[in-house]
Amino acid sequence: MRRIATEEAFSIPEIAHALRKLCESRTGAQNIDMMLVRNIYGDGAGYQAQFLAPLLDIEDERLRDMDANGVDMQVLSLTAPGVQMFDADTATELARVANDRLAEVIARHPRRFAGLASFAPHSPQRAVREMERAVRELGLNGFIVNSHTNNEYLDDPKYWPVLEAAEALDRCIYIHPRGPSELLAGPMRDYGMFAALWAYGVEVSTHAVRLILSGVFDRFPRLKICLGHMGEAVHFWSWRLDFMSERAQRAGAPRLQLKPSEYLRRNFAITTSGQESPLALEFSIRQLGIDNVLWAIDYPYQPSASAVAFMDGVEVTDEQRHKLYHGNAEKLFHIAPLAQ
């Protein structure tokens, strides 16, 4: 059984270095992303400092971990917050370097790695050029964006060129979490909620609902958005989103051609990164359809072994397991199927 893991994080020394500089230059900042960045890239005191080495390693320990756990391929993406905390010029340049590096690694291990391209949303025109280069010249498999950029979301018309490019290039945009935007962040500072425990899901689910309700999927009907962490629970709200959005439209919200639940089935795919609940998976398959659910680990933040054990063990048909483990990923990310 070919296993393709679809939300697997990496970084490069240039970006780790730039993030470390950011920690030093904004020491007083209470910004949640700075808490996150310090955790990994700061003075080594952060509780997540152990992730820095495995993020930077792609071809040694990572490949051994994949071999040991029967993971055939990782779809790599530049880890959060990506390039989005830097100024537009720095972000544009670092995205380009990260994409080049990614393409080089994939060229050396075409059966082991695929990759999602980064871009700097804060400079939409240059982002579009990088997206085109990433697909046409580098052959990358899709795009990654770490949710908001300077507290703005992709439904903002200034970002429509990015959505248009993704649709035209037929590559999905994977919306990965970062620390929540300013006004969502306040209540997330306590009890360890600020990142993967809770805040990440609030941030990305809010982003997804904004996209749906703004009507961008009527403008870009073939745009595909991928959400990790079992869809950040957005589809759990399908019925209520449908019901309440009708009410909101009657009260002046943008008119939508479809119901939110219909956009979720048509324009979204979700992955199981960092969510090993069989019940949540069963619900997701029934709500979104088996073709829209993909397996992921969230390496190195989550262990490969339990992610494999989870997907090996869930009670689905063989045909469904094939789709979850690789068939859907091959289609969504344009990965060549193995010769029969």
For ligand VNL, the binding residue among 86, 263, 301, 325 (CB under 6 A) is 301
Here the contacts of 200-206 (C-beta below 8 Å, separation 24 or greater) are 200/229, 200/232, 201/177, 201/229, 201/232, 201/233, 203/147, 203/148, 203/177, 203/178, 203/179, 204/147, 204/175, 204/176, 204/177, 204/228, 204/229, 204/232, 205/232, 205/233, 205/234, 206/153, 206/180
Query: In this complex, which beta carbon is closest to ligand VNL, that of residue 114 or of residue 213?
Result: 114
Kindly state whether residue 95 participates in binding ligand VNL, applying the rule CB under 6 A.
no
Q: How far is the CB of 145 from Mn ion (least distance, A)?
A: 13
Identify the CA nearest to 33 among candidates 258, 229, 199, 221: 199
Q: How far is the CB of 299 from Mn ion (least distance, A)?
A: 9
Q: Are 334 and 134 in contact (CB under 8 A)?
A: no
The C-alpha atoms of residue 315 and residue 7 are separated, in whole angstroms, by 23
For Mn ion, the binding residue among 298, 302, 316, 326 (CB under 5 A) is 298
For ligand VNL, the binding residue among 4, 5, 9, 293 (CB under 6 A) is 9
Kindly state whether residue 55 participates in binding ligand VNL, applying the rule CB under 6 A.
no
Kindly state whether residue 202 participates in binding ligand VNL, applying the rule CB under 6 A.
no
Is 60 a residue of the active site?
A: no
Query: In this complex, which beta carbon is closest to ligand VNL, that of residue 7 or of residue 167?
Result: 7
Task: Supply the DSSP string of 209-222, one letter for each residue.
Answer: HHHHHHTHHHHSTT
Taking the mean position of all CA atoms in its chain, how far away is CA 331?
17
Kindly state whether residue 314 participates in binding ligand VNL, applying the rule CB under 6 A.
no
Among the listed ranges 12-20, 32-40, 296-304, 324-332, the one in contact with Mn ion (CB under 5 A) is 296-304
Q: How far is the CB of 25 from Mn ion (least distance, A)?
A: 26
Kindly state whether residue 298 participates in binding ligand VNL, applying the rule CB under 6 A.
yes
Which residues here bind ligand VNL, judged by CB under 6 A? 9, 36, 48, 79-80, 195-196, 274, 298, 301
Which residues here bind Mn ion, judged by CB under 5 A? 298
